Structure 1
Amino acid sequence: MVNFGKKLMADQVEEWKGYYINYKLMKKLLKQYVQQTQIGGKDCEQVLKEFSRILDDQIERIVLFLLQQQGHLSRRIEELGAQRAAIMQQVDASRVFQLREDYREVGRDLVKLLRFVDMNATGLRKILKKFDKRFGYKFTDYYVTTRSNHPYSQLQQVFKQVGIVAVAGALSRNLAYLEHEHRGSFLSIYDNPSVVLQDPIIDQVNHAVQKLTHATSFMQYLGQHALIVQDDTPSGSEDNVDDESYHFMSLMLNLVNTFLYMVNTYIIVPTADDYSVSLGAAATVCGIIIGSMAVAQVFSSVYFSAWSNRSYFRPLVFSSIMLFSGNLLYALAYDLNSLTVLLIGRILCGLGSARAVNRRYISDCVPLKIRLQASAGFVSASALGMACGPGLAGFLQTKFTIYSLTFNQSTLPGWVMSVAWLLYLVWLWFSFKEPEHFAREAAKAAASTPQPSESDVGHQESANLEEGLAQPLLLGSEEMLDDNSDDNDDNEDAKSSHEPATSFASAYKLLTPSVKVQLLIYFMLKYAMEILLSESSVITTYYFNWDTSAVAIFLAILGLTVLPVNAIVGSYVTNWFEDRQILVASEIMVLIGIIMSFRYTPHYSIPQYVSSALITFVFAEVLEGVNLSLLSRVMSSRLSRGTYNGGLLSTEAGTLARVVADATITAAGYLGTDMLLNITLLPPLVITIVSIVATFCTYNTLY
């Protein structure tokens, strides 16, 4: 694990050494303050003021040097601009080439300056986190509140750079003009932003600017939404997946698994109430039918996450067998007239949830240069599956019998999905390639250790399972530098500070208040979405007399909004506003959508239901992407790897929300269908209000 203090020293530009944050001094002072407050009885308020002044001095030195360098680069670009105007009049190819090289040299210096700012911003964030850890999460809130929003804020100069981005824009524009004028074109980067100048220096500048300003593209936003990758990889890290070991078909099989599972989840939603009634139960038992799959997923997420430390092929095969068997039982339950068989079928489907494997495969086995696209593919496959599931159910409106087996709108989803999973299993068996790093790890372990006795094999496998042989699930430039790795002078054990959590209890101990709030928000949005989707068939049938096709179309339209909404948010909104601002706004809009959904009068109209459902669903989707992005930034790096990682925690929070929501629907059904809507909306209303209050309480720790 990289020590940030040593890394900061190693990556410093030699002639700029006096202008970086004195991270070592900050740590030393922090330790002294801890001792003074615990032993000497020094007042905490005085510590806050003193440390703030010292940090102010550090930031001021950084900012003044930054402004000086910006001015220097601006003058160089201005001088080169004058040369460009003169050269273009003479059309001298050799001088054009030299001018292009001069611009690129400015670009190299600009990249150095951007990295200077990034290293200092990372150091500041880590110091704030360390102070919070030792003084009860008070300092960041105080410091950001008093410094960030001040009209003379120097903190904003470090974290939200406008001047340096303007310099980057001037460099890009001039290089683009030089290229286009040489070709006789008059295109501008402002007139046609989609035309990207193919230059390695400009690529480096753009990457550094995005890293510094957290500017995102649609692909990056989807990657964050998947909680698989972050904006960038740690400096100095190497991609351990080369092009030769990468297997495209195996990636496709993982994405198809994701797609089919989401189809499988939502294909029964439009007809679950009718199926329940045909088996002699109440329509609201659809909540239990839908939710039983999520109940099993609570457990399957854990063992699939652990299993993926050793293999990807075997868990995918197991997943396919479980889903084939579960759907077969779901289809046969009608002729067996057994609600028990139906529920067992759905539980088996939940036990086949391999989303943890799908995520992990992308993190571990896809080359870095296409990992972003693969992550976006994962989210897109999930979204398309969510839309296609109800849509497909709408087409299965027929009834016939073959050899005493009934095929109707209730059983056909099970028959169709069982055939789909059988075909997928055959494709998987012949086409999947197990990643080579498992074989390399096994060979390395065999070469470096003596052969174990048979009695030791089981113990070794258990140890490997806990330690994990694969790369982290989350890749974050700051979080990969472990918060505790550079605290060699602390009383914590150095090795234990690097190790991933080995249980839910140890993972819970690593959760800061801001992480807990983000998990609460994730629970809230999944709860609200599940209530909306799972009871939609019952509600629309009771109030509007919608048939199965109408419900299927409505749910499919909701699912189809996912990608366009993410495209808008990922390409534009996240570049205009801070993630925490979008977070609060989305929470408020979800609250508004829930409030609009209540039935206030005897007459409940279709426009009210549809508009409120769209607001709730769309802003819950926006909230999910931003929430997961923030979660990965505030989460300890020890939760970025191993079995009990951040991806698993968020998955468990979301799955638990679905279980509780579906149970709420069934429980509320005993009070009557006329009261179902308002009763089931009360819990998400309360949880949303609590999450908004909690967000404001931790708002300044999300900086």
Structure 2
Amino acid sequence: MVAFGKKLKERQILEWQGYYINYKLMKKKVNQYAQQIEVGTQDRKHVLKDFSRMLDNQIEKIVLFLLEQQGLLASRLAKLDEQHDALQQLPEISQICELRQAYRAVGQDLLKLLFFVEVNAIGLRKILKKFDKRFGYRFTNYYVKTRANHPYSQLQQVFKHVGIGAVVGAVSRNLHELQDRQGSYLSIYDQPALPLQDPVIDSIKAAVDRLTHSTNFLNFLAQHALIMQEEFPTPVEEQVDDQNYHFMSLLLNLVNTFLYMVNTYIVVPTADDYSLSLGAAATVCGIVIGAMAVAQVFSSVYFSAWSNKTYFRPLVFSSVILFVGNILYALAYDFNSIAVLLIGRLFCGLGSARAVNRRYISDCVPQKIRMQASAGFVSASALGMACGPALAGLLQTNFKIYKLTFNQDTLPGWVMAVAWLVYLIWLWISFKEPSREIEENHIPQESNAVVVENDALENGLKQPLLISSSEDKQQDEDGEQECDESEEASEDSHQPATSIRSAYRLLTPSVKVQLLIYFMLKYVMEILLSESSVITTYYFKWSTGTVAIFLASLGLTVLPVNIVVGNYISNMFEDRQILLASEIMVCIGILLSFHIIVPYSVPQYVCSGLILFVSAEVLEGINLALLSRVMSSRLSRGTYNGGLLSTEAGTIARVIADGTITLAGYLGQSRLLNITLLPSLFICISSIVATCFTYNSLY
């Protein structure tokens, strides 16, 4: 177990140690407050005011040192600018190289300063969270709101690094101009700007992005994978490539993800016809589609546990099971057996290796490309979702070979069986099992969220200030006894959860609400997609090909929507604002989907479905981004990790949604649409209400 205070100290620059937030002192003070309140020698108001004053002093110390260092960097840059101007008159290669090195040295020192700010921001968030947990009062909301919004805010210097941007710009511009541009006069301000070739600028940009939480398309897309990154910044000198990284193995993981999503959605346009051909009702398509999700509820757990020891074997097992499952799915037609059909889909669900795919990226891909790999994981899923229905639309044929029937119902099974067989051969030849040292050396990310709830200090004074500390005590690095609530057995612990029960105990109200939102959006999307064939056939007489085009078109919106949200919307509004707005848009999409009085039309169905699907896609990215921030660091690794919990929440939602379709089908196809939309509306409204109650904790 590595204490947070010790980790914080290890990341400090030695000569600047006196200027960092004194986390150790503040933690001792929190313990003293607890003891004083227990014996009645201290009151609530004094504790809150005294702790606020202590934080103010710590932040002022950090900010004054920060301003001093900015001044020193600015002075060095001013002298270098004079040399730069002189060189423009009589340029010499050797002097240009020396000047470039001097600017790089300033860049390295600037990077150190950015790391200084980031480590202090992490320490500040952590001590605020510790205070809130220890006393049962959400002090953070009061402190951040009163300090951050004040015109003389020093807190903004820590969280928004005010003033550093000018230094970043000066270093970037001059290094850009000193590169050999072969007569070009373009600068960093011209569009399109020429790319910088200096690695220190890339490191500075990454550090600035982390501090401002600014996002781009890749970053936003990668958040969908819920693959957590390291909490503490890594100095440039420590950033080395992982020699055990194997690109082909990563590619095979992404192909597995793609094929599985194709396998999931390739049957959607034809599942109702297949059910009818076997003597069942069209709405049994809900069970046919959902059988895969039912099995995935269990497969996610054992695949996650299996990936603790190996990646190759579970991928081989997954491919074999999926090959068998698709063969059974295809043979059900000639056997005239709905049972064989369902067993085939259950086998396909038992082969779901998404937990392995996610763990491989988290544990075996170097930090510098992990975001791109995570985005690749999400892109492969999105493309598979679009390609599945599109491929089904192309398989419109009917012929026999011996006694085997090949038609629009069975061809999805045959095609996917061949695909998994080819993949299995490729996997056996090309996959390289990574060293387990990678996972052992992997540092999990702490939740970096500041937990906030109440609006004012006065509200907090009415709340209980001390939670009993008789339970969950543990020795910290100073030999003190420290209490923590059950949401984390130890604030400083990095041990993963060892059971479903221990994982559940780590779920705070904020995490539970985010998982509810994830459940809701997956439920709503599954209702829309799974019943699309039945609904459109009943109301509009659509063919299988038309349904396939509609579903493929929905799937193709995923990447463009993420580009818009990742590059623009997420940088204009807070995540929690986008979250709430997206939930409301999903609710509007559901309301527009109801069939009430007037004849149901194609424009109404298509427009409402598009609004619902796109809003749910936006909601998913923001939801998982917030979930990764508010989730305990103990859920970042191990079998029962955050990725598994979110996968289980989404999978259970799909199972219930598909079951709802089948049960509603007994009341007749004329009532199917409205009956399945009612629980969607109820769950959506519940998630909106829950979001409002925990809104201030999503900071």
Q: TM-score, with normalisation over the residues of structure 2? A: 0.89
Question: What do residues 179-221 of structure 1 show as CA deviations (whole Å, max 9, x unaligned)?
Answer: 36x6421112222355321113212211221221122333333
Using the TM superposition, give the Cα deviation of residue 290 of structure 1 relative to its aligned residue in structure 2, in angstroms: 0.8
For the pair 1:389 / 2:385, whether they are aligned, the reply is no
Cα distance between partner residues in 2 of 1:275 and 1:424? 27
1:586 maps to which of 569, 577, 582 = 582
Identity %: 70
Counterpart of 1:208?
A: 207
Using the TM superposition, give the Cα deviation of residue 271 of structure 1 relative to its aligned residue in structure 2, in angstroms: 0.9
Cα distance between partner residues in 2 of 1:373 and 1:261? 20
1:487-502 to 2 correspondences below 5 Å: 489-491=480-482, 497-502=493-498
Give 3-state SS (helix, strand or coil) of 1:179's partner: coil
1:247-326 to 2 correspondences below 5 Å: 247-326=246-325
Instruction: Say whether the 8 Å CA contact 1:291–1:663 is kept in structure 2.
Output: yes
Q: Letter of the 1:362 partner, please give it.
A: I
Q: Letter of the 1:655 partner, please give it.
A: T
Greater CA drift, 32-41 or 501-510: 32-41
Question: What do residues 272-316 of structure 1 show as CA deviations (whole Å, max 9, x unaligned)?
Answer: 111122222222221111111101100000000001111222211
Cα distance change, pair 545–486 in 1 and its aligned pair in 2 (3 A): farther
Counterpart of 1:351?
A: 350
Cα distance change, pair 421–130 in 1 and its aligned pair in 2 (3 A): same
Counterpart of 2:59?
A: 59
Cα distance between partner residues in 1 of 2:282 and 2:444? 41
Counterpart of 2:453?
A: none
Counterpart of 1:527?
A: 523
Q: Letter of the 1:559 partner, please give it.
A: G
Instruction: Say whether the 8 Å CA contact 2:399–2:405 is kept in structure 1.
Output: yes
Cα distance between partner residues in 1 of 2:339 and 2:201? 62
Question: What do residues 412-447 of structure 1 show as CA deviations (whole Å, max 9, x unaligned)?
Answer: 11111112112222222233232233xx79xxxxxx
Question: What do residues 563-609 of structure 1 show as CA deviations (whole Å, max 9, x unaligned)?
Answer: 22222323333333333233223222222222222223322222222
For the pair 1:145 / 2:152, whether they are aligned, the reply is no
Cα distance change, pair 496–130 in 1 and its aligned pair in 2 (3 A): closer
Give 3-state SS (helix, strand or coil) of 2:405's partner: strand
Cα distance between partner residues in 1 of 2:217 and 2:589? 25
Using the TM superposition, give the Cα deviation of residue 470 of structure 1 relative to its aligned residue in structure 2, in angstroms: 5.5
Q: TM-score, with normalisation over the residues of structure 1? A: 0.89
Instruction: Say whether the 8 Å CA contact 1:320–1:425 is kept in structure 2.
Output: yes
Cα distance between partner residues in 1 of 2:120 and 2:613? 39
Using the TM superposition, give the Cα deviation of residue 702 of structure 1 relative to its aligned residue in structure 2, in angstroms: 2.5
Instruction: Say whether the 8 Å CA contact 1:537–1:548 is kept in structure 2.
Output: yes
Counterpart of 1:187?
A: 186
Greater CA drift, 18-27 or 259-268: 18-27
Instruction: Say whether the 8 Å CA contact 2:444–2:637 is kept in structure 1.
Output: yes
Counterpart of 2:552?
A: 556
Counterpart of 2:542?
A: 546
Q: Letter of the 1:309 partner, please give it.
A: N
Using the TM superposition, give the Cα deviation of residue 265 of structure 1 relative to its aligned residue in structure 2, in angstroms: 0.2
For the pair 1:619 / 2:610, whether they are aligned, the reply is no
Question: What do residues 206-241 of structure 1 show as CA deviations (whole Å, max 9, x unaligned)?
Answer: 122122112233333333221224377653797898
Using the TM superposition, give the Cα deviation of residue 132 of structure 1 relative to its aligned residue in structure 2, in angstroms: 2.1
Greater CA drift, 137-146 or 677-686: 137-146
Cα distance between partner residues in 2 of 1:41 and 1:508? 37
Q: Letter of the 1:640 partner, please give it.
A: S
Instruction: Say whether the 8 Å CA contact 2:445–2:633 is kept in structure 1.
Output: no
Cα distance change, pair 583–494 in 1 and its aligned pair in 2 (3 A): closer
1:459-478 to 2 correspondences below 5 Å: 475=445
Cα distance between partner residues in 2 of 1:282 and 1:355? 31
Cα distance change, pair 435–116 in 1 and its aligned pair in 2 (3 A): closer
Cα distance change, pair 240–78 in 1 and its aligned pair in 2 (3 A): closer
Give 3-state SS (helix, strand or coil) of 1:153's partner: coil
Counterpart of 1:410?
A: 409
Counterpart of 2:100?
A: 100
Counterpart of 1:634?
A: 630
Greater CA drift, 62-71 or 197-206: 62-71
Q: Letter of the 1:185 partner, please give it.
A: S
Q: Unaligned 5+ residue runs, structure 1? A: 442-468
Q: Letter of the 2:190 partner, please give it.
A: D
Using the TM superposition, give the Cα deviation of residue 518 of structure 1 relative to its aligned residue in structure 2, in angstroms: 1.5
Using the TM superposition, give the Cα deviation of residue 509 of structure 1 relative to its aligned residue in structure 2, in angstroms: 0.7
Instruction: Say whether the 8 Å CA contact 1:223–1:372 is kept in structure 2.
Output: yes
Instruction: Say whether the 8 Å CA contact 1:172–1:202 is kept in structure 2.
Output: yes
Cα distance between partner residues in 2 of 1:694 and 1:267? 35
Cα distance change, pair 240–75 in 1 and its aligned pair in 2 (3 A): closer
Counterpart of 1:509?
A: 505
Cα distance between partner residues in 1 of 2:186 and 2:528? 48
Give 3-state SS (helix, strand or coil) of 2:178's partner: helix
Cα distance between partner residues in 2 of 1:146 and 1:350? 51
Question: What do residues 525-563 of structure 1 show as CA deviations (whole Å, max 9, x unaligned)?
Answer: 111111111111112222222111111011111111112
Cα distance change, pair 513–494 in 1 and its aligned pair in 2 (3 A): closer
Counterpart of 2:595?
A: 599
Cα distance change, pair 98–233 in 1 and its aligned pair in 2 (3 A): same
Using the TM superposition, give the Cα deviation of residue 242 of structure 1 relative to its aligned residue in structure 2, in angstroms: 3.4
Question: What do residues 669-690 of structure 1 show as CA deviations (whole Å, max 9, x unaligned)?
Answer: 2222222222222222222222
Greater CA drift, 313-322 or 169-178: 169-178
For the pair 1:246 / 2:245, whether they are aligned, the reply is yes
Q: Letter of the 1:114 partner, please give it.
A: L
Using the TM superposition, give the Cα deviation of residue 506 of structure 1 relative to its aligned residue in structure 2, in angstroms: 0.4
1:149-228 to 2 correspondences below 5 Å: 149-179=149-179, 183-192=182-191, 195-228=194-227
Greater CA drift, 66-75 or 327-336: 66-75
Counterpart of 1:456?
A: none
Using the TM superposition, give the Cα deviation of residue 491 of structure 1 relative to its aligned residue in structure 2, in angstroms: 4.5
2:642 maps to which of 633, 642, 646 = 646
Instruction: Say whether the 8 Å CA contact 1:593–1:616 is kept in structure 2.
Output: yes
Give 3-state SS (helix, strand or coil) of 2:179's partner: helix
Using the TM superposition, give the Cα deviation of residue 59 of structure 1 relative to its aligned residue in structure 2, in angstroms: 2.0
Instruction: Say whether the 8 Å CA contact 1:640–1:646 is kept in structure 2.
Output: yes
For the pair 1:576 / 2:572, whether they are aligned, the reply is yes
Cα distance change, pair 117–675 in 1 and its aligned pair in 2 (3 A): same
Instruction: Say whether the 8 Å CA contact 2:590–2:612 is kept in structure 1.
Output: yes
Cα distance change, pair 422–582 in 1 and its aligned pair in 2 (3 A): same
Counterpart of 2:49?
A: 49
Cα distance between partner residues in 2 of 1:81 and 1:433? 51
Using the TM superposition, give the Cα deviation of residue 473 of structure 1 relative to its aligned residue in structure 2, in angstroms: 9.5
Counterpart of 2:486?
A: none
Instruction: Say whether the 8 Å CA contact 1:239–1:367 is kept in structure 2.
Output: no
Using the TM superposition, give the Cα deviation of residue 124 of structure 1 relative to its aligned residue in structure 2, in angstroms: 0.8
Instruction: Say whether the 8 Å CA contact 2:119–2:232 is kept in structure 1.
Output: no
Q: Letter of the 1:335 partner, please give it.
A: D
Greater CA drift, 553-562 or 100-109: 100-109
Counterpart of 1:672?
A: 668
Cα distance between partner residues in 1 of 2:295 and 2:169? 52
Cα distance between partner residues in 2 of 1:349 and 1:89? 71
Q: Letter of the 2:12 partner, please give it.
A: Q
Using the TM superposition, give the Cα deviation of residue 325 of structure 1 relative to its aligned residue in structure 2, in angstroms: 1.4
Cα distance between partner residues in 2 of 1:109 and 1:120? 17
Cα distance between partner residues in 1 of 2:647 and 2:478? 31
Using the TM superposition, give the Cα deviation of residue 390 of structure 1 relative to its aligned residue in structure 2, in angstroms: 0.3
Greater CA drift, 578-587 or 643-652: 578-587
Give 3-state SS (helix, strand or coil) of 2:519's partner: helix
Counterpart of 1:363?
A: 362
Instruction: Say whether the 8 Å CA contact 1:263–1:385 is kept in structure 2.
Output: yes
Give 3-state SS (helix, strand or coil) of 1:406's partner: strand
Question: What do residues 440-491 of structure 1 show as CA deviations (whole Å, max 9, x unaligned)?
Answer: 79xxxxxxxxxxxxxxxxxxxxxxxxxxx65669656959xxx997685234
